[in-house]
């Protein structure tokens, strides 16, 4: 039986209410994090290109590529939770650099100039993934030169920039949520369901490799905990998951069935998928489609290698535990699809 936590109630939260900027609050995790911070009594401002509409928070609209907009957004803030990023499996390297690297650099400089004292950099375990399986690992070092794909490489560079800025008066924590999913997810869940309904969702090999994931409410609670624990946790990178590794085929089937879509019923050898992914990337580079490519080398690697992590240090440092189990999360997802 999992316990429901609507808003973290820590000693740090009780002792000091923070004026927080949340970037990227129009996304599922950003929105949920902003809602959690409001519920915990913090003064919340959100920053993104379109209104986030988070009740109890004020919107500040703009792009990370606009230094003036970033400066306005951080004015009067004590703390930043930085989620905004270009998230995709394809696209020109320059677009990722502008948003993920230079945007983070701009935000860090503006935050320090404005007197911000706590900064949570929302990163990804892919920054330390170099192609092989990750089995019971902690957060390894970010490796921009060896990470796979433009997203992972630029997120790795951004994480290093953030951690290099850490100091006595500017506490930086890097948090790497792994495979965040839940109701309203337009990334992982929506793409799984769309492809499952169209019969275009294969399993690579036997779908038996173990992967960690994290339900969105748990990820949001971990980010709030990282913000409130920043003075104690600063300078560290922490992977956040539910701590319940599942066979990737079972996880995909659970999400598909929750949405009323069929579970994957056909298999493709991982080696063949990687070759096909490379060919698709080459075609997309010349004639990009309107949607994400159906397969890339990075995606094939992610679907065919194990990714699960030791969560003991994360939970000890953040004084956080996941409140919603994978099974309960799937049940909530199914209820969401029944309602909508």
Residues with a catalytic annotation lie at 151
CA distances from 30 to 2, 9, 14, 51, 223 (A): 23, 19, 22, 12, 10
Distance CA 314, CA 82 (A): 19
Place of tokens 């080459």: 282
Whether 114 and 75 have beta carbons less than 8 Å apart is answered as yes
Question: What is the SS3 assignment for 220-281?
Answer: HHHHHHHHHCHHHHCCCEEEECCCCCEEHHHHHHHHHHHCCCCCCCCEECHHHHHHHHHHHH
Residues 6+ apart with CB under 8 A from 325: 2, 215, 242, 244
CB neighbourhood size of 267 (10 A): 14
What's the CA gap between 30 and 91, in Å, rounded? 23
């Amino acid at each position: 039986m999992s316990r429901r936590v609507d808003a973290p109630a820590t000693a740090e939260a009780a002792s000091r209410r923070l004026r927080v900027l949340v970037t990227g609050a129009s996304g599922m995790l950003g929105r949920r994090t902003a809602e959690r911070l409001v519920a915990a009594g913090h003064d919340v401002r959100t920053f993104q290109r379109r209104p986030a509409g988070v009740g109890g928070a004020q919107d500040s609209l703009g792009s990370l590529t606009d230094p003036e907009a970033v400066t306005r957004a951080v004015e009067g803030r004590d703390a930043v939770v930085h989620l905004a990023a270009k998230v995709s499996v394809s696209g020109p390297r320059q677009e990722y650099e502008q948003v993920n690297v230079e945007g983070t650099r701009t935000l860090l400089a503006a935050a320090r100039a404005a007197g911000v004292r706590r900064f949570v950099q929302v990163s990804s375990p892919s920054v330390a993934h170099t192609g092989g399986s990750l089995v019971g690992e902690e957060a390894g070092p970010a490796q921009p030169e060896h990470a796979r794909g433009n997203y992972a490489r630029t997120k790795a560079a951004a994480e290093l920039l953030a951690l290099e800025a850490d100091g006595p008066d500017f506490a930086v924590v890097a948090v790497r949520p792994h495979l965040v999913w839940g109701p309203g997810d337009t990334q992982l869940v929506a793409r799984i369901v769309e492809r499952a309904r169209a019969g275009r969702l294969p399993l690579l090999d036997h779908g038996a490799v173990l992967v960690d994931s994290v339900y969105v409410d748990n990820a949001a609670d971990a980010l709030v905990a990282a913000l409130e624990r920043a003075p104690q946790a600063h300078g560290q990178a922490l992977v956040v998951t539910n701590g319940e590794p599942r066979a990737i085929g079972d996880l995909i089937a659970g999400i598909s069935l929750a949405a009323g879509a069929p579970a994957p019923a056909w298999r493709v050898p991982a080696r063949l998928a990687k070759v096909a992914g490379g060919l698709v990337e080459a075609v997309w580079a010349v004639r990009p489609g309107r949607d994400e490519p159906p397969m890339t080398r990075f995606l094939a690697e992610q679907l065919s290698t194990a990714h699960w992590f030791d969560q003991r240090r994360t939970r000890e440092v953040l004084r956080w535990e996941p409140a919603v189990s994978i099974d309960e999360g799937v049940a909530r997802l199914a209820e969401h699809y029944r309602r909508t």
